[in-house]
Amino acid sequence: MKDSNHDASVEELKNKLEALYDQGVFIEDSEKRLRKLETLEKEVLRMENDSKIQNILKLFKALSNKNRLLILWLIMNGIRCACEIEHILGLSQSTVSHHINELIEVGVLKIIKSGKWSLVSSEINIFSEDFFMELIKKI
């Protein structure tokens, strides 16, 4: 059941949508837009607790770190051992390990065991230099 605050909010939104329609910004009248928005509102409520959304948030959080992006870029250019990443980025073993584990946790990287060595590989082909360059161009 909707409360009076929600009803007031809908009424205020309706007035704004009518003004936008009157100015020619929208081609749909306020009633039609409100019906569509009601459907979208229900979808948003459903999606808020969706595990896919939570996983996407974890991915973006993992990718929001400069060193993790650089590590991912290095691995997109070939399978790497942590020692290569440490050398190129000038990071400690523990820092590289932490970043790699964050990227493994969100499913972007995987470990390949080779005897006593652990190598890191990209788990997803979507992460390519072109992918990142297109994102950068859009920003």
Mean pLDDT, the chain, rounded, equals: 86
pLDDT tens for 17-76 read 999 999 999 999 999 999 999 999 998 888 887 887 888 888 889 989 999 999 988 998
d(CA 61, CA 106): 9
Distance, CA of 80 to CA of 74 (rounded, Å): 8
Residue % of the chain over a pLDDT of 70: 86
Selection from 109, 113, 103 nearest residue 122 by Cα: 109
Q: Which domains does the chain have, with CATH numbers?
A: 4-48 (no CATH), 55-134 (1.10.10.10)
